[in-house]
Amino acid sequence: MLNWYLAHCRPREEERALLNLEHQHIETFCPFIEVKKVVRGKRVLRNEALFPGYVFLRADLEQTSSTTLRSTRGVRNLVRFGDTPCVVPKELVYDLMCRAGDERLGEQLSDLPRCGDKVMIKEGPFAGMEAIYQEADGDSRAMLLLTLLQNQTLASFANSDYTRLEK
């Protein structure tokens, strides 16, 4: 199963780790910021990692061995709790991508329904019914248009109670 992990990098080798992980077809993310520094008496702008020494990577550890990741140039090891690599919540990574203006975020969130998409309700008393997605109702709920007794009704459902149907 694909999960986000945090890799500890060698000093100032975040870019090298990103490049080598991407060559292995592993999705990576490392937010960079512009920093004003004084170098040899002159002010210069430099791009530096927001989290020096760390990069996020998305991999399936059943298919990609942690030994392979650890032996990638620039990477020291995965951040672990005991023997288990720490899974980073995808919401945290996507929030960081959004704040950093990463264009890949749209690809990650493309499975979310848009207004007019058909969805299947999978929880609650309306389980098994089709509805039409209307709009988000806060962070964890959405408004769905149901047809009940030949009348269309707008109702609020938790985001976990439905799935988008393929077009």
Cβ neighbour number for residue 122 with a 10 Å cutoff? 14
End-to-end CA distance of the chain: 25
For residue 105, name the pLDDT band (cuts at 50, 70, 90): low
Write the CA distances from 77 to 8, 23, 167, integer angstroms.
5, 18, 41
In order of 48, 62, 100, 133, the CA distances from 34 in angstroms are 6, 37, 11, 40
pLDDT, residue 15, reads 92
The answer to whether residue 87 scores a pLDDT higher than 90 is yes
- Flag whether the pTM goes above 0.75: no
**Domain 3-108 - what CATH class?**
alpha beta
Task: Centre a 10 Å sphere on the Cβ of residue 16 and count the other Cβ atoms it contains.
Answer: 15
d(CA 23, CA 13): 15
What tens digit of pLDDT does each residue of 116-141 get?
A: 888 999 988 899 999 998 887 776 78
Question: Does residue 166 surpass a pLDDT of 80?
Answer: no
Better-predicted residue by pLDDT, 18 or 149: 18
For residue 35, the cross-strand partners are: 46
Domain extent listing, the chain: 3-108, 118-164
CATH architecture of structural domain 118-164: Roll (2.30)
Neighbours of 29 (CB within 10 A): 20
What local confidence, expressed as pLDDT, does residue 23 receive?
93
